[in-house]
Structure formats: C-alpha cells, structure tokens
Chains A and B, each alone.
Chain A
Amino acid sequence: MLLNGLAAGCIYGLVALGFVLIYKATEMVNFAQGDLLMLGAFMAFALIEHYGLNYWAAFLGAVLFMAVFGYLLDTVILRQVIGQPQFAVVMLTIGLGFLFRSGASMIWGTETRAFATPFTDGVTRVGGFVIADVNLSIVCGTAILCGLLYAFFRFTRIGVAMQAASQNQLAAYYMGIPVKMIFSLVWAISAGVAAVAGILLAPVSLIDVTIGLIGLKAFAAAVLGGFGSIPGAVFGGLVIGVIEQFSGIYLPEGFKDVAAYIVILLVLFVRPQGLFGNIGRKRV
C-alpha cells in the first residue's frame, strides 16, 4: 500500500528530477518532459519487440537514444529561444510535446502496449510482507539513479562544470567551461532520466501515447520540493505519490485524480518557494 504510493512517487520524482535539472541549469521549464518519458518507454518497447533485444540491452539502448535525442533537441531547437521571455519557452515545449505525442502515435499507433520485463508478476517476500517486484524495481532503480547522479555532480569534472554553469553562466564562461555544450548535456541527462522513468513505469501502467500526462503531476513534485532543488524533487515526488495513494482510499472518489493539483495550488499559495527552495527578491 505505502510501497505502491512510494513506487508511483519515485516515478514522479524521476520526472521532476528531469524538470529540475533543466530548470537549474538553463532556467527553462520543459513542459515536454512527460512526453520524453513516453518516447523512452516506446523506444524500449520497439527495441525489445521489433529488434528482439533482451531487457537490459534495450534499457541501455533506449536511455542512450533518448540522451542523444535530448542533446540534439537543445542544440537544434531550444537554443534559439534563449533570452526570450519564459512564456516563449513554455509555449515551445508544449508545442514540442504535442509533436512528440503525435509522432509517437503515427509510428506506434494509439493502442496500449506492454513488454515483458524480468520484474513482471514476480513477488519478493521481505519479513512477512509480499512486495511486487515491479514496485521494488522502481524504488531500487530510483535509488541507484539518484546515487549515480549525485556521484556524477559531486566527483566528475563535467558534473562540477554543470553546477558552475547553473550557478553563474558568465563566470562559468570565464573559467573556460563550454557552457553551450554543458547545457546540451544537461538536456541529454534529463531526457535519459525521463527514459529510465518511462521504462521502469512500463510494467506498472502499460504504455500508450498519453502516458506523458504524468509529467503534469510531476510538476506537483517539483513545485513541492522547490523548483531548484534536486533532493527536493525526489522527496516531493515521494510525498505526492503517497498522498495520491491515500487520498484514493480515504477521500471521496475523484480526489485521487486531482490530489496532485490541489497540492500544487496549496504549496504555491502558502509557500511558493517549496520545501527546499529559496527564492529571494529579484535584483534590478
């Protein structure tokens, strides 16, 4: 029960992580994050079903493909709107999201798809509790990914360069950091994370082209955690997932669908900086 919520929360957290990575680095909000998740899941589906790869190879392939896709997305399209009002970015990513969705429905059709994973239908017993393997895989996958990302940002040169570029673009240029490439790499990581989330999600909720709507709920997670905080995003995701699960049980029908949005509004009205964020006065 709680674990179901946590598993759903992990997915929200991962998608929110993608938002936050991009927002921290480039101050763009990517409304197409959910659609990147959808593309990642479909990519894995295509690799497994059409090319006969095994799960792990397809996992790697799909994540790599999406990373390259994200990199190109930034270099070709999103770099054009740097410096334009945030509105332009919002509209642009919404437009891109529609494009991805319609492209995916043209390639793979609008039916619901599923692919076999090593976790499907398995259960694990931990101290008397029965836990579905899919949920376990999501929680573990998220934990591993977060660990990897933490290590990447903390210990590698590129990771540190990314932090620098997101803190102060100009200073980063002065230090000889190729900021443009770093931004594209951030997009690549973010798209890769979305792909991981998509593939982990696939055995739980079957994939179809509207799966990207989960991205909108992940906004709740990102907002709850404070839009600029990476641990905040994951924590926010977990909280949203659990809240959603419990409101499905204890509250009247219908609340489960909007619980995430009610949380967004409450957080924005009461504490707009989120739990972990900090927004100061704007400098003139």
Chain B
Amino acid sequence: MRFFFKTDYNQDINLFRDGVDRFWYGLLIAVLLAAPFLLEDFWLGEISYVFILAIVGIGLMVLTGYTGQVSLGHAAFLGIGAYTHSVLLNLGVPFWISIPAATLLSALIGALIGRPALRLTGVYLAIATLAFAFIIEQILIRWEHVTGGFKGFPVPRPEVLGHSMVEDVPFYYITFGALVLAVLVALNLLRSPTGRAFVAIRDSEIAAQSMGVNLAAYKTLAFSISAGFTGFGGTLFAHKIGYLAPDAFNILLSIQLLLMVVVGGLGSLHGAIFGAIFVGSLPQLIAILRDYLPEGIARQPGLEPGIFGLILVFFILFEPLGIYGRWLKVKLYFSLFPLYKKATFKRQKTYTKSERNR
C-alpha cells in the first residue's frame, strides 16, 4: 500500500497528486491523441459523442454533484446552446464567435432562471427546472421562423483549416480539445474559493451561510456555470446529431443527463466522465443485448427506457456512490489486500430528514 504524506499546503490544490498520477493521466492523453491512427472512423465518432456527453456531465456535476442542486431541465440548456450556435452559423457568424456566444447565452439564461429558482430547495427546484424545460421545448416548437418548428433544420458545417468540421478526425480532435478545456476549467473552478463555497453549500446550507457564503449569489453562479458548460456541450452536440429538432431535447434527455452523473458517481469529475462513457455506450450495449434476448422482449420499443429506469433504480439502491465509488472500493480492496474491511464503506443507519419546520 502506498502512503501519501502532505508536506506542503499547495498539495491540497495541486492538479495532480503526485508523479504517479501525472504519469497515468499523461498516458491517457497520449493514447487519446493517438486514437485516430489506431481506430476506425465509426469508433472515433462514438468516442467524440462520449466527449460531448462528458462536457455536459461536468456541467451538471458542478451543479448537482458539487453544489447539491437538482436540475431536471438541463436538456433545455443543451437545446439553447445547440440552437443558438446553429442559428448564428446560419447567419454567417464564424464558429469561433458563435460557440462562445452560445455558451454565454446559456449561462445568462441559466442565471436568469436560476436567480428566482434558487430560493427554492430540493424538490421544488427540480419541479421548477422541469417546468422550465417544457416551456423551452414549446418555444423551440412554436418560434418557427427561427427554429424551424417541429421540422427543425440541418446544422451548417463550418470549415476548420480546410477540413469540414464534422469529418470524423477533425471533429474528434475538436471535441477532445473542448473536453480537456472543460476539465481544466472545472478543476480550477473547484479548487478556488468559489468551488469550495459550492461544496460548503452542498454539505450544509446553514453552515455555509454561517461562514459567510452568500447562498443566493453562489447558487445562481453554480447554476449559471453549469448552464454555460451545458450550452458549450450543446454547440458540439448540434454538430454531432447534424439535424436540430425540438424532440431531441425532451425530458428524456434531461433524465439521461442526470442518470449520467448519478451512475458515474456524484461529487467527482471522474464520475461525470465515467457516467458519460456509460451512457454513451449504453445504446450499443442494448443493441448487443437485443441479440441475446428472446425475440418477444427484444423487439419491444419500450426496452430502452425500461433499461434506463432499471439501471437508475439499481444504482440508487445498491451503489449510491456510482461507478467512481465502486472504482474506489476496488482500488482500496487491492491496496489493503488481504485486510480490506467491508465496513469501511458501510452506510450508516439513517433516518428521515425533515425539511419542514415542526
């Protein structure tokens, strides 16, 4: 087992814990950079989809995993990002302006909706964001001369350095760069006082307030940052799906996004990325699974949402820490072998926590 001693305050905020970490992450980046020379184009497309999901996952993780606010409306921000970007492109705006513009607009709308919504707690917030998502979806449908209504419109394909942006290899590098950027921004955010304030709010609003954290301001900020990340992911998502229509951004997508952070593991950026890998590869897994299921079940249209629901239920009941939590347990098991105690991660007995005044 490897012991880790802290000898310097900076170690609390270093990006990498030690040389070993630096080596593994460096290796990962090198492998991902080399991937286009090793893999077929189909897989590159799938991986860039996972990258996009991971960007959105990081956004949602900042809000849900770190600040402790539930949003059932993130598909709306994804939609806002995607539509703004594509509409601007159609107007002839270059993509290196339209992407930041779409990100900023999402963040702004996030702040606008967040400010009043964040006086609400817990489930009220979930309901408010849900309502918001429905209203945005309806706006996308009805504002026809901009959004194309039900029919939608194809996403324009800008050129980067002489290549079309949506070709597999350039798109892979663009999404990879975007993900690295998003991870760095999130890491830097979370080790700053702002990020610490978010975590304080998650752990106890009252304690955070007592320590001088302005709840409303920081919650609004978290909401806005989260919406910004999601909008940024949305701009790339638009290119990935290639054709925008309102029903791509419905409630099911919001729930998939939440599923991503829950399954990945709340409260860690690793979790967002694990979750993205999981959700991104799920359709493939289900397609494979269909071959093994009896004909009657495999043909059912309801199979996919059903499996989503089942996974969600199982993770909440049996592994609330998600894939990342399981990974930590496995790691600890091997580093402590043969002294691993099951009780290390045993959940304490819990009672109903009341949010009402009595």
B-binding residues in A (CB < 8 A): 26-27, 29, 77, 80-88, 90-92, 94-99, 101-106, 110, 167-169, 209, 216, 219-220, 223, 227-228, 253-254, 257-258, 261-262, 264-265, 268-269, 272, 279-284
Contact = CB atoms under 8 A, between A and B. Distances in A.
A20 to B, nearest CB: 12
A257 B317 CA distance: 35
A213 to B, nearest CB: 9
B342 interface: no
B131 A264 contact: yes
Interface string B81-122: 000000000000000000000000000000000001101101
Interface of B: 64, 68, 70, 72, 116-117, 119-120, 122-124, 126-128, 130-132, 134-135, 138, 141-142, 206, 255, 258-259, 262, 297, 300-313, 316-317, 320, 349-358
Contacts of A104: 302
Nearest to A92: B316
Contacts of B262: 91
Main secondary structure of the interface of A (DSSP, over half): helix
B306 A103 contact: yes
Contacts of A86: 70, 122-123, 355
26 contacts: A80-B317, A83-B349, A83-B352, A83-B353, A88-B320, A90-B123, A90-B126, A91-B258, A91-B316, A94-B312, A95-B308, A98-B255, A102-B300, A106-B297, A106-B300, A110-B302, A216-B130, A261-B135, A262-B131, A262-B135, A269-B116, A269-B117, A269-B119, A281-B357, A282-B357, A284-B206
A92 B123 contact: no
A214 to B, nearest CB: 13
Contacts of A103: 302, 306
Contacts, number: 159
Contact of B128 (A168, A268, A283): A268
A212 to B, nearest CB: 12
Contacts of B358: 167-168, 283
Give the dominant DSSP class at B's interface: helix
B352 A26 contact: yes
Contacts of A257: 134, 138
A98 B309 contact: yes
Q: Which 8 A-B pairs have the closest CB atoms?
A: A83-B350, A102-B306, A98-B309, A95-B312, A105-B302, A102-B302, A280-B357, A261-B131
A284 B312 CA distance: 32
Contacts of B258: 91, 94
B355 A27 contact: yes
A220 B141 CA distance: 22
B64 A254 contact: no
Contact of B317 (A81, A99, A254, A284): A81
Q: Which of B122, B141, B302 has the most CB of A within 10 A?
A: B302
Contacts of B309: 94-99, 101-102
A96 B351 CA distance: 22
Contacts of A99: 306, 309-310, 313
A102 B303 contact: yes
Given A87-B64, A102-B303, A220-B131, 14 more contacts: A81-B316, A81-B317, A82-B350, A82-B352, A85-B68, A88-B316, A91-B259, A105-B302, A167-B358, A253-B142, A265-B132, A269-B117, A269-B119, A282-B357
A162 to B, nearest CB: 15
Kindly name the residue among B117, B258, B303, B312 whose own CB sees the greatest number of chain A CB atoms within 10 A: B312
Contacts of B132: 261, 265
B317 A77 contact: yes
A254 B357 contact: no
Contacts of A209: 302
A279 B124 CA distance: 12
A82 B127 CA distance: 21
Contacts of B357: 279-283
A254 B307 CA distance: 32
Nearest to A262: B135
Nearest to B300: A106
